[in-house]
Structure 1
Amino acid sequence: MPVITLDDVKRALVEGAGVDAGVDLERGIATLTFEELGYDSLAVLETGLRLGRENGVEIDDEQLADIETPQDLADAVNLALAEAAVA
Protein backbone atom coordinates (compact mmCIF):
# COMPACT_ATOMS: atom_id res chain seq x y z
CA MET A 1 0.00 0.00 0.00
CA PRO A 2 1.43 3.40 -0.95
CA VAL A 3 1.85 6.07 1.70
CA ILE A 4 1.59 9.80 1.03
CA THR A 5 4.40 11.91 2.45
CA LEU A 6 4.81 15.64 2.86
CA ASP A 7 7.07 15.55 -0.20
CA ASP A 8 4.12 14.17 -2.19
CA VAL A 9 1.92 16.99 -0.87
CA LYS A 10 4.56 19.59 -1.81
CA ARG A 11 4.92 18.16 -5.32
CA ALA A 12 1.16 18.10 -5.86
CA LEU A 13 0.84 21.69 -4.58
CA VAL A 14 3.51 22.90 -6.98
CA GLU A 15 2.06 20.97 -9.94
CA GLY A 16 -1.51 22.05 -9.28
CA ALA A 17 -1.31 25.51 -7.77
CA GLY A 18 2.25 26.63 -8.31
CA VAL A 19 4.33 28.49 -5.77
CA ASP A 20 4.00 32.18 -5.03
CA ALA A 21 7.20 34.18 -4.78
CA GLY A 22 7.11 34.43 -0.98
CA VAL A 23 6.27 30.78 -0.30
CA ASP A 24 9.02 28.54 1.07
CA LEU A 25 7.95 24.90 0.82
CA GLU A 26 11.38 23.70 1.90
CA ARG A 27 10.89 24.70 5.54
CA GLY A 28 8.99 22.55 8.00
CA ILE A 29 5.49 22.87 6.58
CA ALA A 30 3.72 20.00 8.32
CA THR A 31 1.83 22.12 10.84
CA LEU A 32 1.70 25.45 9.04
CA THR A 33 -1.74 26.21 7.68
CA PHE A 34 -2.25 26.37 3.95
CA GLU A 35 -3.24 30.00 4.47
CA GLU A 36 0.14 30.68 6.11
CA LEU A 37 1.78 29.04 3.10
CA GLY A 38 -0.17 31.27 0.72
CA TYR A 39 -2.67 28.69 -0.58
CA ASP A 40 -6.43 29.10 -0.65
CA SER A 41 -9.14 26.48 -0.23
CA LEU A 42 -9.32 25.87 -3.98
CA ALA A 43 -5.63 24.94 -4.05
CA VAL A 44 -6.16 22.53 -1.14
CA LEU A 45 -9.15 20.97 -2.89
CA GLU A 46 -7.29 20.58 -6.17
CA THR A 47 -4.23 19.14 -4.43
CA GLY A 48 -6.29 16.62 -2.46
CA LEU A 49 -8.18 15.52 -5.56
CA ARG A 50 -4.91 15.23 -7.49
CA LEU A 51 -3.34 13.04 -4.80
CA GLY A 52 -6.48 10.92 -4.66
CA ARG A 53 -6.53 10.40 -8.44
CA GLU A 54 -2.83 9.55 -8.50
CA ASN A 55 -3.39 6.88 -5.87
CA GLY A 56 -6.74 5.52 -7.00
CA VAL A 57 -8.80 6.76 -4.05
CA GLU A 58 -11.56 9.31 -3.67
CA ILE A 59 -11.51 11.91 -0.94
CA ASP A 60 -14.78 13.64 -0.13
CA ASP A 61 -14.91 17.36 -0.98
CA GLU A 62 -16.36 18.13 2.46
CA GLN A 63 -13.43 16.38 4.13
CA LEU A 64 -11.01 18.38 2.00
CA ALA A 65 -12.76 21.60 3.00
CA ASP A 66 -11.84 20.94 6.65
CA ILE A 67 -8.15 20.35 5.99
CA GLU A 68 -5.90 23.08 7.36
CA THR A 69 -2.30 21.83 7.11
CA PRO A 70 -0.20 19.76 4.70
CA GLN A 71 0.04 17.05 7.37
CA ASP A 72 -3.78 16.97 7.61
CA LEU A 73 -3.92 16.46 3.84
CA ALA A 74 -1.35 13.67 3.89
CA ASP A 75 -3.24 12.01 6.75
CA ALA A 76 -6.57 12.24 4.87
CA VAL A 77 -5.12 10.64 1.75
CA ASN A 78 -3.39 7.95 3.80
CA LEU A 79 -6.65 7.19 5.62
CA ALA A 80 -8.43 6.82 2.27
CA LEU A 81 -5.66 4.51 1.07
CA ALA A 82 -5.91 2.38 4.21
CA GLU A 83 -9.70 2.16 3.92
CA ALA A 84 -9.42 1.15 0.27
CA ALA A 85 -6.90 -1.56 1.16
CA VAL A 86 -9.33 -3.29 3.54
CA ALA A 87 -12.40 -2.87 1.31
Structure 2
Amino acid sequence: MATFTQADLVGCIRQAAGEDEGLDLDGDIGEITFADLGYDSVAMVEVTLLVERKLGVSLPEEGTGKDATPKGFVDLVNELLPASD
Protein backbone atom coordinates (compact mmCIF):
# COMPACT_ATOMS: atom_id res chain seq x y z
CA MET A 1 0.00 0.00 0.00
CA ALA A 2 1.57 3.25 -1.10
CA THR A 3 -0.67 5.58 0.86
CA PHE A 4 -3.10 5.14 3.74
CA THR A 5 -6.24 7.19 3.10
CA GLN A 6 -9.14 8.41 5.18
CA ALA A 7 -11.29 5.81 3.39
CA ASP A 8 -8.84 3.11 4.56
CA LEU A 9 -9.14 4.45 8.10
CA VAL A 10 -12.94 4.50 7.94
CA GLY A 11 -12.89 0.86 6.83
CA CYS A 12 -10.72 -0.01 9.83
CA ILE A 13 -12.98 1.97 12.18
CA ARG A 14 -16.04 0.14 10.90
CA GLN A 15 -14.32 -3.23 11.22
CA ALA A 16 -12.79 -2.68 14.66
CA ALA A 17 -15.21 -0.34 16.42
CA GLY A 18 -18.42 -0.21 14.41
CA GLU A 19 -20.43 2.79 13.33
CA ASP A 20 -23.30 4.57 15.04
CA GLU A 21 -26.41 4.82 12.86
CA GLY A 22 -26.54 8.59 13.30
CA LEU A 23 -22.96 9.08 12.16
CA ASP A 24 -21.77 9.51 8.58
CA LEU A 25 -18.14 8.40 8.51
CA ASP A 26 -18.09 9.04 4.77
CA GLY A 27 -18.70 12.75 5.32
CA ASP A 28 -16.20 15.49 6.07
CA ILE A 29 -14.80 14.13 9.36
CA GLY A 30 -11.11 14.91 8.91
CA GLU A 31 -10.89 17.60 11.60
CA ILE A 32 -13.38 16.13 14.11
CA THR A 33 -11.88 14.32 17.10
CA PHE A 34 -12.62 10.65 17.49
CA ALA A 35 -14.23 11.45 20.86
CA ASP A 36 -16.64 13.86 19.14
CA LEU A 37 -17.38 11.12 16.60
CA GLY A 38 -18.35 8.86 19.51
CA TYR A 39 -15.22 6.70 19.80
CA ASP A 40 -13.64 6.24 23.22
CA SER A 41 -10.08 5.23 24.02
CA VAL A 42 -10.92 1.50 23.97
CA ALA A 43 -12.38 1.79 20.47
CA MET A 44 -9.31 3.68 19.29
CA VAL A 45 -6.99 1.02 20.71
CA GLU A 46 -8.90 -1.55 18.65
CA VAL A 47 -8.65 0.60 15.52
CA THR A 48 -4.95 1.25 16.09
CA LEU A 49 -4.18 -2.45 16.60
CA LEU A 50 -6.04 -3.32 13.40
CA VAL A 51 -4.14 -0.70 11.39
CA GLU A 52 -0.84 -1.89 12.87
CA ARG A 53 -1.59 -5.52 11.93
CA LYS A 54 -2.76 -4.64 8.42
CA LEU A 55 0.16 -2.36 7.60
CA GLY A 56 2.98 -3.80 9.70
CA VAL A 57 3.70 -0.50 11.43
CA SER A 58 3.93 0.45 15.09
CA LEU A 59 1.89 3.53 15.95
CA PRO A 60 2.56 5.72 18.99
CA GLU A 61 -0.23 6.38 21.49
CA GLU A 62 0.05 10.10 20.81
CA GLY A 63 -1.85 10.83 17.62
CA THR A 64 -4.06 7.74 17.66
CA GLY A 65 -6.24 8.25 20.73
CA LYS A 66 -9.74 9.58 21.17
CA ASP A 67 -8.51 13.19 21.08
CA ALA A 68 -6.86 12.73 17.68
CA THR A 69 -8.56 13.48 14.36
CA PRO A 70 -8.91 11.21 11.34
CA LYS A 71 -6.69 13.57 9.33
CA GLY A 72 -3.98 13.46 11.98
CA PHE A 73 -4.23 9.67 12.27
CA VAL A 74 -3.90 9.23 8.49
CA ASP A 75 -0.97 11.66 8.33
CA LEU A 76 0.80 9.80 11.15
CA VAL A 77 0.32 6.42 9.46
CA ASN A 78 1.65 7.76 6.16
CA GLU A 79 4.74 9.17 7.91
CA LEU A 80 5.48 5.69 9.27
CA LEU A 81 4.78 3.67 6.12
CA PRO A 82 7.90 2.57 4.29
CA ALA A 83 8.39 4.28 0.95
CA SER A 84 7.29 2.15 -1.97
CA ASP A 85 9.12 2.05 -5.27
TM-score with structure 1 setting the length: 0.80
Task: Measure the CA separation in 2 of the matches of 1:30 and 1:61.
Answer: 19
Contact kept? 2:6, 2:70, Cα under 8 Å: yes
Task: Measure the CA separation in 1 of the matches of 2:34 and 2:56.
Answer: 24
Helix, strand or coil at the partner of 2:64: helix
Helix, strand or coil at the partner of 1:23: coil
For 1:16-63, what per-residue CA distance to the aligned partner results, in whole angstroms no more than 9, with x for missing partners?
Answer: 000112211121011111112111112222212211211111113355
1:19 aligns with 2:19: yes
Gapped regions of structure 1 (runs ≥ 5): none
User: What is the aligned-residue identity percentage?
Assistant: 37
Extract structure 1 runs of 4+ deviating beyond 3 A.
none
The RMSD of aligned alpha carbons is 1.9
Larger mean CA deviation between 44-53 and 56-65 belongs to: 56-65
Match of 1:2 in 2: 2
**Greater helix fraction, Structure 1 or Structure 2:** 1
Task: Measure the CA separation in 1 of the matches of 2:15 and 2:71.
Answer: 18
How far residue 4 of structure 1 moved from its aligned partner, in angstroms, is: 0.6
Gapped regions of structure 2 (runs ≥ 5): none
Matches within 5 A, 1:4-83: 4-65=4-65, 68-81=68-81
Contact kept? 2:39, 2:66, Cα under 8 Å: no
